[in-house]
Amino acid sequence: MKDKNIPQNTKSKSIKEIKEEINQILEKLESKETDLSESMNDYARLIILNKRIDSFFKDRNKEISKIGKTNEKDFNK
């Protein structure tokens, strides 16, 4: 799932907010009170949240790489 396919309400959440939602879903899935269709919806939501976290880390990785390349150029002058 590409970042553009992630719902806007998920894109606007911080990593901390996403982590809290993931923990709530996991607790719900671990309880025996959920039915199969609800569990499937929760699992789909977990996948979306996971993709958003992955997107966060990819963006940060790009930023760090860019800073590293800039610092390397400055160091080699």
The answer as to whether 49 is a domain residue is yes
If one counts the domains in the chain, the total is: 1
Q: What confidence score (pLDDT) does residue 3 get? A: 54
Q: Containing domain of residue 48, as a range?
A: 13-75
Q: Is the pLDDT of residue 9 over 70?
A: no
Q: What confidence score (pLDDT) does residue 48 get? A: 93
Residue 34 backbone class (left: φ over 0; alpha: ψ -120 to 50; beta: rest): beta
The answer as to whether 1 is a domain residue is no
Number of C-beta neighbours around residue 2 at 10 A? 7
The answer as to whether 6 is a domain residue is no
The answer as to whether 4 is a domain residue is no
Q: Residue range 2-25: average pLDDT? A: 79
Q: What confidence score (pLDDT) does residue 71 get? A: 74
pLDDT greater at residue 70 or residue 72 = 70
The answer as to whether 3 is a domain residue is no
SS3 content of the chain, % helix, strand, coil (to 5): 80, 0, 20
| Burial of 71 (C-beta count, 10 Å sphere; 0-12/13-18/19+) | exposed
